[in-house]
Amino acid sequence: MKLRFASSGVPVWKAKNLLLALLTLLATNVFAQKNIIIPIESKDNALVLQVGEDKRVGIIYFGKKLQNTAEYQHIPGMYKRGDDYSGVLNAAYTSAGSRNLVEPAIQVTHADGNTSLALLYVSHQVQKENDNVSTTSILLKDPVYNFDVTLYYKVYNKENVVEQWSAIRNNEKDSVTLHKYASANLYLSAEDYWLGHYHGDWAKEMQPEEERLTAGIKVLDSKLGTRANLYQPPTFMVSLDKPATEEEGSVLYGSLEWTGNFKFDLEVDPLNNLRIIAGINPFASDYALAPAQEFKTPPFVYTFSDKGKGEATRNMHSWARKCKILNGTGSRLTLLNNWEATYFDFNEPKLTELIEATKKLGVDMFLLDDGWFANKYPRNSDRAGLGDWQENVKKLPHGIGYLVKQAKKNGVKFGIWVEPEMVNPKSELYEQHPDWVIRQPNRPEHLYRNQLVLDLSNPEVQDHVFGVLDRILTENPGVAFFKWDCNAVIYNANSAYLSKQSHLYVEYVRGFYKVLERFRAKYPNLPMMLCSGGGGRVDYGALQYFTEFWVSDNTDPLERIFMQWEYSYFFPAIAQDNHVTDWGKQPLKFRTDVAMMGKLGFDIVVSKLGKEDLKFAQDAVDTYESFSDVVWHGDLFRLVNPQKNDFASLMYVDDAQSKAIMFNYLVSNRYGAGSLSPVKLGGLKPDKKYRIKEINLYPGTKSTLANDAVYSGNYLMTIGINPDVNARRASVILEITEAK
Ligand code: DGJ
């Protein structure tokens, strides 16, 4: 159903009975006040906008929902922190060039060269998608120029999640240049703001930072083009007043659904309020919007909780699984990957052995990684061949088809690695299509991992990229999985195709999405891993086309505990691919236990495993199968933070609160390090009884915990259980099942 409202304050219903409509609205008190109040509410939270008498739309509240909508209007008067001389510090979408003096959400140059923009309320409406999802849109227009912006707030009620974006329309006679065009503009009020954000590099994803924001602007951004999250992911959290803990405090999580350059401005303004502007990075990206055209910004997704980080995470996970990640409520394929087992050095017999090993291990699929293609410049290292997607005849004389058949013979599936957006200069593709490559014509090429990026703004390149995937699947319908890699950043950003170079960063991402749309139209369900030299590209824009992402090339389990923990704030376990490899000094059990807190895979030489290790790995695959449903779809409770303790502890609980899996890992070598006290569990039913059993034990070892002990949920969540983590028991997995 659609509800429309207009600036006169008189609702314009689609339905005929205007009087009844008016009475209904008066009864809900929306228009009973002098100013129009627009509450955007979810189950527990509210973002409240108010239209002033001057028609400017401001944010008067962000936080926990009030019972009485009419009371929101009192809130601004309660703050005596000074004067807002401009009157627009709290703008719902701050425009540059007129009264505003702070960081804008939008900045434009009109067709006549004028650089001012004012956006005034015209109307708003609420569109209901279903019982849980509705979108409020607010139309704003410049009173002088024929230029308007619609703000969209899509509310996922139960999940307490909002996706916010804007549509910018130019109805002037000539092009308008958009210098900045954010997705969202928020305004929060607290005494202090604690920003949690991340930095990183290859093999060092998700290094956390937390800091108090002081007056001025803190910027989080990326200008890398592709592999945009190499140094910084597009995700952050802000705690209000004091750093939130897992169970206490008010916290906002935000993430931009955009697989490219992003920018978050976090500005503590003169009134000590926090302005958040989130969107595509305007860096080198002036966008000429033609007359009668609309620019739709990507959604900025956020959730808020006044009950700490744990609840915010569960909100985000639930939304991600049900509404965003491809097949987020489905299942995933366990696998054996050959990247670290062989690197580029393989042939048909070696791969056939690995396919047999896949079966022996008991996982679902064999995943063939980099190195299977190119003939003129064979792909025997990362220096050549990228772009030439024909099977290398020396390594694979009978093509992919032979391997698919081998997989079938062994009762496993077959997946394959691609990196279709990129090219080595040493390749036939580069020789044939130099104009498809992003580079400055009059400067030396600068390579990243010996490769360059193809210009996805060019429709011919989009066809090519789609064609690479489509050909593999058409010729080999048995291919069941893609790992889509993206190893280079964009240097020398310049497109031979575009006439306006400042459109490149935006059009690249749009081109990427066009390919993915086309791919998904033809292959809606094929599982696909989002990979970028590790986790260099992890965002919810891409994840609507992908089933999962590669967390990091760093598979040292000790490092992984920390990375997986940090990713877990924003991304559910079902989307995180974790492989058991030979990185790190820990035994196979520890490595496997860590990989189990997400989607389990292996990248080891199975034939080199000793008898006991092999038995353990085979049993572990069965064990994983017995509880993967809980890890993939359950609620996450982070119990003991490895950043602050000698060990990490977390658990997943199923919807029915009848089964849970608890993971515990030692992260310190210090004398006596381990779980000295019981760990309080979360998410159980106090009045249910639960049986606790240690699982995934290494052959020949026994649990030190009481066998099959039964406790009440109340006991487990009030007193807890000690998993007995110590140097001799460095990783412990507990299965918690309802005892009936
Ligand atoms: C980077 C990925 O992160 C690795 O897993 C592997 O696929 C290599 N690329 C292959 O070149």
Structure confidence at residue 708 (pLDDT): 85
Cα 298 from Cα 388, distance rounded (Å): 33
Inter-residue contact 731 to 590 (CB < 8 Å)? yes
Atom of ligand 1 nearest to the CA of 382: 11
- Report CA(532)–ligand 1 centroid distance (Å): 7
If one compares 243 and 4, the residue with the highest pLDDT of the two is: 243
Return the residue whose CA atom lies nearest to atom 10 of ligand 1: 370
Q: Are residues 107 and 200 in the same domain?
A: yes
Closest CA to 504 of 446, 437, 570, 553: 437
Return the residue whose CA atom lies nearest to atom 5 of ligand 1: 553
Domain boundary among 324, 342, 370: 324
pLDDT of 31 above 60: no
User: Helix/strand/coil (H, E, C) string of 15-45?
Assistant: CCCHHHHHHHHHHCCCCCCCCEEEEEECCCE
Q: What percent of the chain has pLDDT over 70?
A: 95
Phi, psi for 179 (deg, rounded to 5)? -90, -35
The reply to whether 186 falls in a domain is yes
Which of the four pLDDT bands, split at 50, 70 and 90, describes residue 29?
very low
- Report CA(618)–ligand 1 centroid distance (Å): 25
Q: Are residues 648 and 677 in the same domain?
A: yes
Our mutation pick for probing the ligand 1 site, out of 343, 553, 555, 560, counting the most ligand atoms within 8 A of Cβ, is: 553
Structure confidence at residue 22 (pLDDT): 41
Q: What is the mean pLDDT of the chain?
A: 95
- Report CA(496)–ligand 1 centroid distance (Å): 29
Structure confidence at residue 63 (pLDDT): 98
The reply to whether 505 falls in a domain is no
The reply to whether 152 falls in a domain is yes
Closest CA to 449 of 249, 226, 116: 226
Inter-residue contact 697 to 703 (CB < 8 Å)? yes
- Report CA(22)–ligand 1 centroid distance (Å): 61
Structure confidence at residue 34 (pLDDT): 58
Instruction: Label residue 55 exposed, middle or buried (CB < 10 Å: 0-12, 13-18, 19+).
Output: middle
Inter-residue contact 387 to 422 (CB < 8 Å)? yes
pLDDT digits (tens, 9 = 90+) for 469-498: 999 999 999 999 999 999 999 999 999 999
Our mutation pick for probing the ligand 1 site, out of 531, 580, 581, 604, counting the most ligand atoms within 8 A of Cβ, is: 531
Phi, psi for 11 (deg, rounded to 5)? -70, 140
Q: Are residues 114 and 178 in the same domain?
A: yes
Cα 441 from Cα 451, distance rounded (Å): 16
- Structural domain for 705, as ranges: 640-738
- Report CA(723)–ligand 1 centroid distance (Å): 36
CATH number at residue 216: 2.70.98.60
Q: Which residues contact 182 (CB under 8 A, 6 or more apart)?
A: 93, 104, 105, 106, 166, 277, 278, 279, 280, 297
Return the residue whose CA atom lies nearest to atom 11 of ligand 1: 370
Q: Are residues 178 and 218 in the same domain?
A: yes
Return the residue whose CA atom lies nearest to atom 3 of ligand 1: 533
Domain boundary among 324, 339, 354: 324
DSSP codes of every residue in 577-634: EEEE-S-SSS-HHHHHHHHTSSEEEE-S-GGGS-HHHHHHHHHHHHHHHHHHHHHHHS
pLDDT digits (tens, 9 = 90+) for 660-719: 999 999 999 999 999 999 999 999 999 999 999 999 999 999 999 998 899 999 999 999
- Report CA(483)–ligand 1 centroid distance (Å): 9
- Report CA(71)–ligand 1 centroid distance (Å): 55
Average pLDDT value for residue range 568-593: 98
pLDDT digits (tens, 9 = 90+) for 658-674: 999 999 999 999 999 99
Atom of ligand 1 nearest to the CA of 534: 3
Return the residue whose CA atom lies nearest to atom 4 of ligand 1: 533
Average pLDDT value for residue range 545-562: 98
**CA Rg value for the chain:** 27
Cα 623 from Cα 528, distance rounded (Å): 24
pLDDT of 11 above 70: no
Q: Are residues 63 and 203 in the same domain?
A: yes
Given the structure tokens 């980080």, which residue do they identify?
309
Q: Are residues 252 and 169 in the same domain?
A: yes
Return the residue whose CA atom lies nearest to atom 2 of ligand 1: 533
Paired tokens of 301 = 């997704």
Q: Are residues 27 and 170 in the same domain?
A: no
The reply to whether 342 falls in a domain is no
The reply to whether 413 falls in a domain is no
pLDDT of 12 above 90: no
Our mutation pick for probing the ligand 1 site, out of 338, 345, 369, 579, counting the most ligand atoms within 8 A of Cβ, is: 369
Angle, CA of 242, 681 and 691, to the nearest 5°? 175
- Report CA(590)–ligand 1 centroid distance (Å): 23
Pocket lined around ligand 1, Cβ cut-off 6 Å: 339, 369-370, 417, 485, 487, 531, 533-534, 550, 553
The reply to whether 629 falls in a domain is no
Angle, CA of 61, 67 and 68, to the nearest 5°? 75
- Report CA(732)–ligand 1 centroid distance (Å): 30
The reply to whether 571 falls in a domain is no
Our mutation pick for probing the ligand 1 site, out of 204, 205, 339, counting the most ligand atoms within 8 A of Cβ, is: 339
Structure confidence at residue 5 (pLDDT): 52
Return the residue whose CA atom lies nearest to atom 9 of ligand 1: 533
Say what the pTM is.
Answer: 0.95
Q: Are residues 128 and 170 in the same domain?
A: yes
Q: Are residues 4 and 113 in the same domain?
A: no
Angle, CA of 303, 36 and 100, to the nearest 5°? 70
Domain boundary among 324, 354, 371: 324
Cα 654 from Cα 631, distance rounded (Å): 8
Our mutation pick for probing the ligand 1 site, out of 370, 373, 576, 602, counting the most ligand atoms within 8 A of Cβ, is: 370
- Report CA(533)–ligand 1 centroid distance (Å): 5
Paired tokens of 188 = 């929060």
Closest CA to 299 of 112, 130, 541: 541
pLDDT digits (tens, 9 = 90+) for 594-603: 999 999 999 9
Paired tokens of 30 = 């929306």
Cα 143 from Cα 127, distance rounded (Å): 26
Structure confidence at residue 320 (pLDDT): 98
Structure confidence at residue 35 (pLDDT): 78
Closest CA to 621 of 357, 408, 406: 357
Q: What percent of the chain has pLDDT over 90?
A: 95
- Report CA(671)–ligand 1 centroid distance (Å): 37
Inter-residue contact 490 to 278 (CB < 8 Å)? no
Q: Are residues 22 and 133 in the same domain?
A: no
CB atoms under 10 Å from CB of 78, counted, come to 7
pLDDT digits (tens, 9 = 90+) for 305-362: 999 999 999 999 999 999 999 999 999 999 999 999 999 999 999 999 999 999 999 9
Q: At what angle do helices 399-409 and 348-361 cross, to 10 degrees?
A: 30
Q: Are residues 22 and 104 in the same domain?
A: no
DSSP codes of every residue in 118-139: --EEEEEEEEE-SSSEEEEEEE
CB atoms under 10 Å from CB of 571, counted, come to 28
Atom of ligand 1 nearest to the CA of 532: 3
pLDDT of 1 above 80: no
Structure confidence at residue 7 (pLDDT): 46
CATH number at residue 659: 2.60.40.1180
Average pLDDT value for residue range 454-470: 98
> Total domain count for the chain?
3
pLDDT of 9 above 90: no
Structure confidence at residue 557 (pLDDT): 98
Paired tokens of 33 = 């006040």
Q: Are residues 178 and 112 in the same domain?
A: yes
* Coarse DSSP helix, strand, coil percentages of the chain, rounded to the nearest 5 percent: 25, 30, 45
Inter-residue contact 455 to 512 (CB < 8 Å)? no
Cα 70 from Cα 57, distance rounded (Å): 17
Closest CA to 185 of 280, 251, 90, 87: 90
The reply to whether 679 falls in a domain is yes
